[in-house]
Amino acid sequence: MNIRITDTEQHSQPGAPPLATLTAGDLLASAEAMIPVLRERAAEVDRERRVSTDTYRMLGEAGFFHLLKPKKYGGLELSEHEHARVAMTLARGCASTAWIFSILSSDNMAILAYPEETQDEIWGENSYATLSGNTNLSPKATVTKVSGGYRLTGSWGFCSGSDFSEWLIFNAPVGEAGEGHMFIVPREETETTDDWFPTGMRGTGSRTMSVTDVFVPEHRVQATKDTVRKMQERRSLHPTFDTMYATWPSNGRFPFASCAVGAAWGAAENFAETVGSSTRVANALGGAVRLADQDYVASEFAQAQGDIQMARLLIEKRSFEASERARQRVESSEADIARELRDNALVTRTALRSVQQIFSLVGSRAGNPEHPVSRAKRDIEMISHHVTLNWRQGAVRYLASVS
């Protein structure tokens, strides 16, 4: 049975924003440096179904939540390319941690579609503030128009990163037509239902969040269909932030696929580091053979590791192309979007197939849920079910764009 709780824990961050001189190279180096710590904590994250407050603090102090944030609020104004590379790198250590970074960093862009008053309210006093929630329409939610705003009641599942975010965004129907509107509410006005018990990605905090008759002022409410247009209108507020010219919601950021490929990358690294001392039972009568001496192991691992590397390179190429279009103020075409959707799904399929190959090489030891390859396999399986990574839908859209 789900336990309904109100989370009042404060997740403090440093008062001053990260150094404005931080570069993309600095952030990637910080992500690389965090890998050993994330690997050490990954089993605990899986057991506790939560990333630690200390790990979240480390993400903030490294500047990761400022990667896709305008300079006015202490942001670094970096690109989708850096976002994808940091997510892939963090996922080598812990896919759940990478997912939280990816979601909360990406959601900065959603805030930028709102008026300057809203942006100031969220980041004016706390540049580390983050936004989580669920932008899928909840048809059971109820909205009442009142003077100065709306009163909102409803619940939304799969709110990744909600263990830490100071703000939540929800999509609810408004008016007789039930047109979707996005509502931003402060964390203290929400409640959490602890219902996140998946087989993989257990530490993402993707729990159900709800509100009951909460007042939301008009400046924190926006019609969902207007998001892209509003984002374009707000570009003048942050004229040097190229990523405001990226497609929304962005496929060039590879927000979910990067985590899958990074997790597979980490599994391959673990196997390579341990295969020299690993054995398997020779046959039903006993005995042992070294995995490193087996031709089939070499063949299967080379295939899996090579496929993972190709997936990494494809993400890097496509995210760079998307970032260049934004830098040059060139709108993405339908062909660009369809290709990126296809490749998001493609690299995730590749990551899943590759980690399954590695899992089979490990043998019965991979049945231990705390084995790094077991965890990576479960995490990637979970990621592969995300709606944006549906291979068949992506393939159909891609074919239509080129035919």
How confident is the model at residue 284, as a pLDDT? 76
How confident is the model at residue 188, as a pLDDT? 96
What number does CATH give the domain 131-226?
2.40.110.10
Spatial separation of the C-alpha atoms in residues 348 and 368, rounded to whole Å = 24
How confident is the model at residue 275, as a pLDDT? 87
| CATH H-level, domain 3-128: superfamily | Acyl-CoA dehydrogenase/oxidase, N-terminal domain (1.10.540.10)
Spatial separation of the C-alpha atoms in residues 326 and 336, rounded to whole Å = 12
DSSP 141: -
Q: Tell me which of 3.30.750.24, 1.20.140.10, 3.40.50.2300, 3.10.150.10 is the CATH number of domain 257-402.
A: 1.20.140.10
For 378-388, write each residue's pLDDT tens digit. 999 999 999 99
Break the chain into its structural domains and give their ranges. Answer: 3-128, 131-226, 257-402
Answer for the pair 80, 322: CB distance below 8 angstroms, yes or no: yes
How confident is the model at residue 290, as a pLDDT? 83
DSSP string, 309-368: HHHHHHHHHHHHHHHHHHHTT-PPPHHHHHHHHHHHHHHHHHHHHHHHHHHHHHGGGGGS
Instruction: Work out whether strand 286-290 and strand 191-194 pair parallel, antiparallel, or are unpaired.
Output: unpaired
Instruction: Give 119-122 contacts, CB < 8 A, sequence gap 24+.
Output: 119/73, 119/237, 121/219, 121/220, 122/166, 122/167, 122/184
pLDDT profile of the chain (403 residues), mean per 10 = 41 66 95 98 97 96 96 96 98 98 96 98 95 95 97 97 96 96 97 96 96 98 96 97 94 96 98 86 76 88 97 98 97 96 98 97 87 97 96 96 94
The model carries a pTM of: 0.93
**How many Å from the N-terminal Cα to the C-terminal Cα in the chain?**
50
- Cβ-based burial of 334 (10 A; exposed 0-12, middle 13-18, buried ≥19): exposed
How confident is the model at residue 364, as a pLDDT? 80
Spatial separation of the C-alpha atoms in residues 187 and 6, rounded to whole Å = 10
| Rg of the chain (C-alpha set) | 22
Tokens of 338: 């369809």
